[in-house]
Structure 1
Amino acid sequence: MTEILQTPKLVVVFGGSGFVGRHVVRALAKRGYRVRVACRRPDLAGHLQPLGNVGQIQAVQANIRVRWSVDNAVQGADHVINLVGILHESGRQRFGVVHDFGARAVAEAARSVGAGLTHVSALGASADSQSDYARTKALGEKAVFDTKQDAVIYRPSINFGPEDGFFNRFAAMARFSPVLPLIGGGETRFQPVYVGDVAEAIARSVEGKVEGGRVYELGGPNVLTFKQCLQEMLTVIERKRLLVAMPWWVARLQASILGLLPNPLLTGDQVTLLQSDNVVSDAAAKEGRTLAALGITAKSVGTILPSYLWRFRAAGQFQRKPAA
């Protein structure tokens, strides 16, 4: 009797060539899915190919600002994932267009082909936020649920991992600067979450193991202040640096200048965002909308940072031996 082989499901990942995206693509490829990565520059997505078998991962051109390209990218999809987001505005990349219009475009495209949808937002998203980033993220969530009521929405805290833009950036600064700034005194609280855990949560939603129509808040096992994050990083890279408190007004002044650069270290909107804690809410914990509720044991900063920040040590991967 001839055995009929089923074609693996096709998952389309918008923004799959970015930091979070490469980990999501890897988690999906390990499960045997066919993965179509929709990104603006597929010619720069070659680093994804080794994450799967030959022909398993395909990069296609799509821009969530251009609706027809979104519709084309989702053709034949069984599930759609939207990871697209920006931390600062530049050129045509505006918060409202990317986070709100783009989210609705992806949701409508997924609905049109009958595909499931997983949308990645951000912890702290709120329609009442003074931050344009957080406010448009909330508008994007509303657009998703208005379009697909059974969608899964994830709100991760700061993602950390080998290619992150947080610990890597401050570790790079510590190589040359004797001083690191504590914006607003460094008291803002975060709940850094390992990017691999976020990718696992997303993959489980594709498998149908996550209840739709809910917003899940993803945070790591530890709540750390901004100052504690930098102290943890400095311990890992074995460097001593002076941590100097930067008042909010100084941070805003500095951001007004740095924000003019093509890839700014700090913007005024980010300063506004840093004035609010970025941790999982008590309601999410009580209602089972966390990593733990999804059956995922979150990895700590102390466990993961040494695996990739060693390159910022003076001796690189070769740890210094304590004096006898």
Structure 2
Amino acid sequence: MDELVVVAGATGYVGRHLVEGLDARGYRVRALVRSRDRAEKPGAFGAPSLSGHVAEWRIVDFEAPETIEGVCEGADRVVSALGVTRQKASPWQIDFRGNLAVLADAEKHALASFAYVNVLHSDAGDSMTMRSKFAFAQALSRSRVTPQIVNPSGYFSDMTDFLRMAQRGMGFTMGSGSTKVNPIHGADLASFIVDRVGGAGGAWDVGGPDTFTYRQLEELAFRVAGRTPHILRVGEGVGDAMTWLADRGSPRLGNLTRFFVESLTVDAVGTPIGERHLEPYLRSVA
């Protein structure tokens, strides 16, 4: 196989697994990164180094559109896991406008497809993260480049937040903690996406093999941490108050809090895929 795939968001948790997976399947990878040195070091949450997996490097700044011009020239497809999580950048600037700039270049150079890692229920979210992802997914769905939109329920890396709280001796749930999620390992998600690169367009809601309530996630986190569970049950009004206070701290803090509260109150269960289970992963990073 001699196809060249542009990967945006290549140094994130999912992006690193995508680069490794594409390379393993015989694709050549053009990685869009801010720092090659950082990219060639191991990533957070057990994500791999990109060393040895990248055919071409492009140094870009997704907040500077001029650095994105020409990134798709000579390539065949795009896979994007570009998005803001814990970084200080604006989701609108990165998740929407950054991806939009890559899409515009893909259209200019007539690439065959654009696979995008969105998030489950982005259409219903109120946080800037969810609104930015949904806005780009809508733009991509109307593109002349074949859209492939994958909506994961949540990542194993996200679940480490519950482990860190348990290690400190306290956790909490919104209401009864009955909201459900089936988070997925980055490598399993990457394998699903790579399977579809080169195929037809579409949209897929996916998750990992195990479904948990958030109460069960908290109990799992305490078990892995080796601590006696202390789980506080808080009402929805507390979530509203947390968001109100965070909004007055900074836009970034407000968005992160709103995104977190949203995830605790809406079921996010995609089609189960993959073979990796959450408990062994948490024990590996504990």
- Is the contact made by 2:71 and 2:102 (CA closer than 8 Å) also made in structure 1? no
**1:141-180 paired onto structure 2 within 5 Å:** 141-148=137-144, 150-160=146-156, 164=157, 166-175=158-167, 177-180=168-171
The residue aligned with 1:23 is 17
Task: Please identify which structure carries the higher helix content.
Answer: 2
The residue aligned with 2:264 is 274
Offset of residue 68 of structure 1:
2.5
1:240 to 214, 217, 228: 228
Cα deviation digits, residues 107-147 of structure 1 (max 9, x gap): 22112222221111110111x54333223222111111222
The residue aligned with 1:283 is none
- Is the contact made by 2:153 and 2:269 (CA closer than 8 Å) also made in structure 1? yes
**1:222-241 paired onto structure 2 within 5 Å:** 222-241=210-229
The gaps in structure 2 that reach 5 residues or longer are 43-47
Offset of residue 71 of structure 1:
2.3
Distance 2:210 2:282 in 1: 19
Offset of residue 227 of structure 1:
1.1
- Is the contact made by 1:184 and 1:251 (CA closer than 8 Å) also made in structure 2? no
Distance 1:131 1:264 in 2: 11
Query: Residues 82 and 310 of structure 1: is their aligned pair in 2 closer, same or farther, counting only changes over 3 Å?
Result: closer
Distance 1:18 1:153 in 2: 18
RMSD: 2.8
The residue aligned with 2:76 is 78
Distance 2:125 2:239 in 1: 19
Distance 2:144 2:3 in 1: 20
AA at the equivalent of 1:151: P
- Is the contact made by 1:158 and 1:191 (CA closer than 8 Å) also made in structure 2? yes
Query: Residues 95 and 229 of structure 1: is their aligned pair in 2 closer, same or farther, counting only changes over 3 Å?
Result: same
The residue aligned with 2:274 is 298
Query: Residues 311 and 95 of structure 1: is their aligned pair in 2 closer, same or farther, counting only changes over 3 Å?
Result: closer
- Is the contact made by 1:108 and 1:147 (CA closer than 8 Å) also made in structure 2? no
Distance 1:171 1:153 in 2: 30
- Is the contact made by 1:134 and 1:273 (CA closer than 8 Å) also made in structure 2? no
The gaps in structure 1 that reach 5 residues or longer are 1-5, 281-289, 292-296, 313-324
1:182 equivalent to 2:173? Answer: yes
**1:81-230 paired onto structure 2 within 5 Å:** 81-87=79-85, 90=88, 93-115=89-111, 116-126=113-123, 128-148=124-144, 150-160=146-156, 164=157, 166-175=158-167, 177-206=168-197, 208=198, 210-212=199-201, 214-230=202-218
TM-score by length of structure 2 reads 0.84
TM-score by length of structure 1 reads 0.75
Distance 1:60 1:139 in 2: 26
Identity over aligned residues, as a percent?
A: 26
